[in-house]
A and B are shown apart, each in its own frame.
Chain A
């Protein structure tokens, strides 16, 4: 697949939980090699969208196409094996395991030795372990986390945990990386580091990235294209320059003065 081809597309996705409509009739695509941002106010359905893409949720309506094929109702681990890796807003690392082990788990889908070989640590099991370890060390170097290689990740500060989680997702050599608020809760310096890593991951590893982010400055700098959600609907989808000046987007973020002007006046007075 060359850069610019459509890697993943969603068609008319609708998702509801009981009476709550989380996503309604969303279509869009992610092209190979790009950084794609999904933004929107709280509760707009951004994380739901990511969860649909990686299979935690199955939409009631709509289709997901990946690598030119329509995807059935797969389980999250099957989707991971197809080449979609992700990180989480609240960090889902294996807290008791070391940084190295955490990133090694990212390569689990790529290891082939059978149980018997593993039990004896012979043949393929031994070769694989060394080969994948090399790859993981490369990622550790890239993310500049050599010094915490053996530290249990539960003991690391938040910013570093985010970085380890990125490393684990990266280790899968996935076709598509989903990053759920990679910079949430970080200070400015950590944000800058993370920005740099995301750009480098995209440029050096050639990874296609879809990310959710709240920091508008960051999104507008990073992303090639931006999709804006509000109340589960898509209200804009274009390059950052256009989205920035889109009136519906500005309204969604700043709040719009509705017909009931009295209420908003009252709010201002109080």
Chain B
């Protein structure tokens, strides 16, 4: 195989793995949008908050340490040297469930039957609030997140792929970050688990029912509020996984919440109401932007990854506004 061909393969594989990460963020949006018709602007901040909380538990930070110290003149920072990863993840999941409950109790419950734009504005408010809360609880410094997943380039894969090229072709093998492989594997497992849960359990069926028709769901005895808490909890867990993966790659910092913006083109491609759409949309954007950068990028000065996804989304909006898998928009007059 020629080195050019192998390079292209490498770009595609890396694009797919980046795409999985985009899909993961988009998935959180789709879950909430399907169940309640709310575009949850806070999804990205939820990923940030979950990652901050996880690191906080891991390292044994005292929550609200700055606030407590400022008020009482004390000097607390850590209550222990930290707890193990598993316990920290369980605790973080609990925090996200409590968060979901509070969102329903304090925000959604009061906005039932309001137009979508009001709910959207509420989630913008929620995003700012949560960002501030994360700052206040755990501090604004950039944190290292390490839950023990292997990372770095795979030497084994480099050896394997080097043998594919001709001996004298000066090809040195493909680079694949092991962390990306793990992240993809975990994301796939998460989606598979969610799919099984929604197909074969009572609550899963209730989730699908609510996503399909609110009125009908009420008449078969489903409480919308309970379902909303469950959906926001699941979205919180998806946010936690996304937060762990992105945080492990680039550190837990407040710009993490901006990954939500990258989910927007994914949603426009895949359709806001389709879980397979979110996954495939993410993959298309991941592969598309890497390939574009690799092939066209050098001709026009590079840095195309910053805008490629948005331009692609714009083209989609012109020709297929419902996305690849979204429900077709039919206007009857």
Contact = CB atoms under 8 A, between A and B. Distances in A.
A and B from one complex: yes
Contact of B212 (A86, A94, A118, A128): A94
Contacts of B204: 118
B8 interface: no
B221 A54 contact: no
Contacts of A113: 201-202
Contacts of A121: 196, 200-201
A105 B218 contact: no
A49 to B, nearest CB: 16
Q: Which of A85, A106, A108, A121 has the most CB of B within 10 A?
A: A108
Interface in A128-169: 128-129, 168
Given A93-B213, A97-B209, A81 B202 contact: no
Contacts of B197: 118-119
Nearest to A94: B212
A268 B219 CA distance: 46
B205 A77 contact: no
A3 interface: no
B191 interface: no
A168 B201 contact: no
B122 interface: no
B223 A77 contact: yes
Interface in A87-128: 88, 92-97, 101, 104-106, 108-109, 111, 113, 115, 118-119, 121, 125, 128
B222 A77 contact: yes
A94 B219 contact: no
B215 interface: yes
Interface string B208-227: 11011101111111111000
Contacts of A85: 219-220
28 contacts: A76-B218, A77-B217, A77-B218, A81-B221, A88-B219, A92-B215, A94-B208, A95-B213, A97-B208, A97-B212, A105-B209, A108-B202, A108-B205, A108-B209, A108-B220, A108-B221, A108-B222, A109-B221, A111-B202, A113-B202, A118-B197, A118-B202, A118-B203, A119-B197, A125-B201, A129-B201, A168-B220, A172-B221
Given A56-B215, A93-B213, 17 more contacts: A77-B224, A80-B218, A88-B216, A88-B219, A94-B216, A95-B212, A95-B213, A104-B205, A105-B206, A105-B217, A108-B209, A108-B222, A109-B220, A115-B203, A119-B197, A129-B201, A172-B220
Interface of A: 54, 56, 75-77, 80-81, 85-86, 88, 92-97, 101, 104-106, 108-109, 111, 113, 115, 118-119, 121, 125, 128-129, 168, 172
